[in-house]
Amino acid sequence: MASVVGVTEISSGKMFGGYNKRYKHYSKTLSCSMNFHIYFPPNISDNNKPFPVLYWLSGLTCSDENFIFKSGAQRAASQHGVALIAPDTSPRGLNVEGESDSWDFGVGAGFYLNATQEKWKNWRMYDYVVKELPELLRDNFPQLDTSKASIFGHSMGGHGALTIYLKNLDKYKSVSAFAPVANPTNCPWGQKAFTNYLGDNKSDWEDYDATYLVGKHANVSTTILIDQGEDDKFLHDQLLPHKFEEACKNGNVPLLLRLQPGYDHSYYFISTFIDDHIKHHAQALKA
């Protein structure tokens, strides 16, 4: 196992000329050990110019592995010279009572927010993704240019990508999502998570709801890309992309919402359209 300061490489595999590498480190933000993946594309030009980074945020029950194993994103990432960064979806190993009682809350379900309730005080995935992980990458991987970053994700991770982008337009060049939880204050997944992580004050919830945030951040210039399967069983009660679409129209925020007939919520859907998303971000990162 290779190691740099505070970061240990635990696996490596060549793919499309580049390398999938998995690392672990101790997170001060989350107070536990965390894993993440990086896909380093091949350096085709041999000029050793650092790669722009594209963060992927996964959905409920996932870890840092699902996207790397299932999406096939590495092919397009290698062609466009973009590094993929895939963090985990929550803290792990803290042994908080009830953390694994349900699949849609706790372990594997961090919702990319900073919890304010004492019991869940370590669930600070927002700060981990926005602050700690980029600093870790900057300090340990000179082959990455973390000043050129974009973000995307799936389901809960689509929610995370949209909200993080809208709150940090200075940090990310572009955003996209697959079947995002686009209006979590109005769906069962979001209401359960927000009540437990943030408390009962619903005005606090709006700070992590893309449909509310897009009205506050109307100075978005790069088109937001969303793909949504029309046969997704979660479409009408959990995801609510049309609420986000309406908010974008009201705020004159550029949105390309593509409804894909016959597709569900799975990685079959993601892998079908992943190349479009990589291209979307590569254009923004290299503009």
Catalytic residue numbers read 155, 232, 265
Cα–Cα distance for residue pair 146/135, rounded to 1 Å: 8
Answer whether 61's CB lies under 8 Å from 103's CB: yes
Note the Cα 33 to chain centre separation in Å: 19
How far apart, in Å, are the Cα atoms of 203 and each of 111, 171, 208, 227, 244? Answer: 17, 25, 10, 28, 18
Answer whether 122's CB lies under 8 Å from 31's CB: yes
